[in-house]
Amino acid sequence: MKKRILPLVCSALLMFTGCGADGYQKISQDKAKEMMDTQEVLVLDVREQSEYAGGHIPGAVLLPVGTIDEDTAAAVIPEKDTTVLVYCRSGSRSKRAAKALAGLGYTGIYEFGGIMSWPYDIVT
């Protein structure tokens, strides 16, 4: 009986403390900003080039969601354990991108929605 319960308990703990079901964590924009200010992170904009040129979060790197594959991701994020904060315009593409990156084996993926509701600085 104990041998069956331990794996269930461990799985439940991982579910509540680790990544979400899709392999990444959803965080608030306030938490994303705090992480940007206090630790080394890669901020990843997954919109299109024209959207990025119109304004983006300072220091953000562009990798459009439609171009994400093993090679393009590795060119921008060489280490699979890099802490990556992913955003787009409204939050839809960032979820797809975060899931794709997690599927490629990246372990430090955090999705924080879209720039439309970003209350902090934006550069053009």
Residues annotated catalytic, as ranges? 88
Closest C-alpha to 124, from 53, 51, 26: 53
Whole-angstrom Cα distance, residue 106 to residue 69? 12
Closest C-alpha to 29, from 122, 117, 88, 123: 117
